[in-house]
Structure 1
Amino acid sequence: MAVTTVSAHPRFSAGALPARFRRIRLLIVGCGDVGLRAADLLPATLGRLALTSSPERREALRGRGIVPLAGDLDDPASLRRLAGLAQRVLVLAPPPGQGEGDPRTVALLRALALRTRPRALVYGSTSGVYGDCGGALIDETRAVRPATARGRRRVAAEQAVRRFGRGGSRVSVLRIPGIYAPDREGGTPRARLLRGTPVLREEDDVHTSHIHADDLARACLAAMWRGGAQRVYHVNDDTRLKMGDYFALAARLYGLPPPPRVDRATAAALLSPMQLSFMSESRQLDAGRMKRELGLRLRYPTVADGLA
């Protein structure tokens, strides 16, 4: 069944809360592009809250029907006000850009534990926690072996979230690959193709997975209401392409020349360390658990559908 909106749980009782709080509230931490898409799918009867450290964003959030809450994940004291505010929490904020752990997620979870814990928490992680899998098709039982500090920080965040779940909240972890969407900033390969940025030749190329931003937002809400406790889900479409083939497909759809193909040594001299890091890991994600347990039918089952 396709998920478009989410209804409040019929057994929830607000008790003696003030009238303005007598409804289920969902808190979004990391309310960027995907968080806003998820908020837009929620019914008006469900309260939408978002943590922000930017005064400039508050009016924009209010304009989307979202109540902004001032706070900074790098300032744990500012997060105490979040305790007990929301029955459901969606965490899409990344770890810091350096270090081995994720003090941001740890600080958030400590604040949420100060009063009544949320009934459900969904954490958006990354498929980078697996490291290089040699192009194999993997499911959620695959052991994590991150090869980068970025991946290790995500593993640390996942571990913190799952420990939090043992305190009574139903926690689900989403492992997310490359996110794309034509209406997302930098959400398509068009600019890269126009620059003529090379890709790896076939024999050096890596398998990669994708998810449309709209389908990811729907998956976040499906996990919020249907996800299993302490359950991990791959959130990706059915595309089975190597990275270079993905860019070549996009070029055909846009009527642009295909990207040049180079060997790995040449790529190392031409591309940034960040670009190279994505070309050093090859894996294909099996999203069967997402479809079976969350009941999610993708609107964009392949990148050809989504890019077109």
Structure 2
Amino acid sequence: MSKLARPRLLILGCGDVGMRMLPLLRGRFRIFAVTSQAARSDELRAAGAVPIVADLDQPATLARLARLARYIVHLAPPQPDGLRDCRTRNLTAILPDATTLVYVSTTGVYGDCGGALIDETRRPNPRNARALRRVDAEATLRAWARRSGSRLSILRVPGIYAADRLPVERLQKGTPALAPQDDVYTNHIHADDLARIIVAALYRGSPCRAYHAVDDSHMKMGEYFDAVADAFGLPHPSRLPRGELEQTVSPVLLSFMSESRRLSNTRLKTELGVRLRYAQVDDALAQVGQIARAGNFVPD
């Protein structure tokens, strides 16, 4: 199939995960990538995408996106304040009918679950403005999909990691972690696996269906930090009771330490047919550790 005859795909928020997606998609689609930074145009073009300079905060710049593509991957985060995702609302105002859209949301929509194992039927219960904006985005997109006859898949994503996306600097600074009795469960997905999950959702996602884009590991946050420290030969972080830790870490970091949940990925595997390349965090860290010990990897 010639390049011009391929179906068109639009990526909004083509950062690290978007760039990992491009090699998986450029032979199947003619890809357009939206960026608000004109300086990124050459980088996107070299990776196989047609760059489009537009800004989801500026509705007047979005007119050229209308009816541009029938396949859309929405990776753009909400604006950093407020309780509504104005960027997603601006986007849905110009989207065509009968579109396939994959939205990358966050597992933070569930709030604190007390460490319980949950699936996608769990009702969202956001506890901060950041998560409220994501819930608003999901609701806005569901309403648009039903109204327009479009196929929407929502991927709820936890902490994304990769060899260059690990908390090494945090460990080097000696930032403490929670004491075991106060620690919380966290969830993870490798950036390469997330890119593959998005591609699977484009083809196999069911209409208005949510999926947990998470791996198989059920780790507490301190255990994760210890595992990364071991991979790089760094000391484990000290552990403090919650009351003491609240006096030493930022409010943003503390908010992540205040929610505990474990997420089932059964729907991801059975409905999207995803086979994770890095099913456990330890699988990826073993590779990173080998490279680090050989002196061929220096963390940012």
The TM-score, its normalising length taken from structure 2, stands at: 0.92
Q: Is 2:221 the counterpart of 1:225?
A: no
Residue in 2 that maps onto 1:12: none
RMSD (CA atoms):
1.3
Q: Is 1:91 the counterpart of 2:71 in the alignment?
A: no
Quick one: structure 1 residues 151 and 224, their matched pair in 2 at CA, closer, same or farther if it must change by over 3 Å? same
Rounded Cα–Cα distance in structure 1 between residues aligned with 2:51 and 2:232: 38
- Counterparts of residues 27-106 of structure 1 (less than 5 Å): 27-106=10-89
Which 10-residue stretch deviates more, 86-95 or 187-196? 187-196
- Name the CA distance, whole Å, in 2 between partners of 1:236 and 1:27: 24
Describe the superposition over 1:100-150 as per-residue Cα deviations: whole angstroms up to 9, x where unpaired.
Answer: 10110011111113xxx3531000000000000000000000000000000
2:186 is equivalent to residue 208 of structure 1? yes
CA contact under 8 A between 1:112 and 1:118: conserved in structure 2? no
Distance 2:157 2:27 in 1: 28
In the TM superposition, what whole-angstrom CA distance separates every residue of 1:191-220 from its partner, at most 9, and x where no partner exists? Answer: 211111100001110000000000000001
- Cα distance between partner residues in 1 of 2:125 and 2:106: 12
Cα deviation for residue 249 of structure 1 reads 1.4
Q: Would you say the 8 A contact 1:123–1:173 is kept in 2?
A: yes
* 8 Å Cα contact 1:24/1:47 also seen in 2: yes
Give structure 1 stretches of 5+ with no counterpart: 1-7, 9-18
Q: What's the offset of the Cα at 1:20?
A: 6.8
Which moves more between the two structures, 80-89 or 38-47? 38-47
2:176 equivalent to 1:198: yes
Map of 1:248 onto structure 2: 226
Question: Residues 26 and 48 of structure 2 are in contact (CA less than 8 Å); yes or no, is this contact kept in structure 1?
Answer: no
CA contact under 8 A between 2:10 and 2:32: conserved in structure 1? yes
Question: Conserved in 1, the CA contact under 8 Å of 2:9 and 2:72?
Answer: yes
Q: What's the counterpart of residue 260 of structure 1? A: 238
Whether the aligned pair in 2 keeps the contact of 1:84 and 1:118 (CA below 8 Å) is: no
Inter-CA distance 45–131: structure 2 relative to 1 (3 Å threshold): closer
Structure 1 residue 161 corresponds to structure 2 residue 141 = yes
**How far is 1:227 from its partner?**
0.3
Q: How does 1:12-23 map to 2 (within 5 A)?
A: 21-23=4-6
Q: Which moved more, 1:21-30 or 1:280-289?
A: 21-30
Query: Relative to structure 1, is the Cα distance of residues 298 and 29 closer, same or farther in structure 2, using a 3 angstrom cutoff?
Result: same
3-state secondary structure, aligned to 2:154: strand
Which residue number in structure 1 is paired with residue 155 of structure 2? 174
Query: How has the CA–CA distance of structure 1 residues 143 and 21 changed in structure 2, closer, same or farther, with 3 Å as cutoff?
Result: same
| Contact 1:119 1:170 (8 Å CA) reproduced | yes
In the alignment, the residues of structure 2 paired with residue 305 and residue 80 of structure 1 have an alpha-carbon distance, to the nearest angstrom, of 44
Task: Tell me if the contact between 2:117 and 2:261 (Cα under 8 Å) persists in the aligned partners.
Answer: yes
Segments ≥4 residues shifted beyond 6 Å: none
Which residue of the other structure, out of 254, 275, 291, is the alignment partner of 1:276? Answer: 254
Q: How does 1:131-146 map to 2 (within 5 A)?
A: 131-146=111-126
Name the SS for the 1:111 alignment partner.
coil
Counterparts of 2:44 and 2:203, CA distance in 1 = 23
% identity of equivalent residues:
53
Instruction: For structure 2, list consecutive stretches of 5 or more residues without a partner in the other structure.
Output: 287-300
CA distance 1:252–1:20, change in 2 (3 Å): closer
**Offset, 1:45:** 4.4
1:13-60: per-residue Cα shift (whole Å, max 9, x none)?
xxxxxx974320111000000011111211424201111111101111
SS, match of residue 113 in structure 2: coil
Q: How many residues align?
A: 285
Q: Is the 8 A contact 1:86 1:118 kept in 2?
A: no
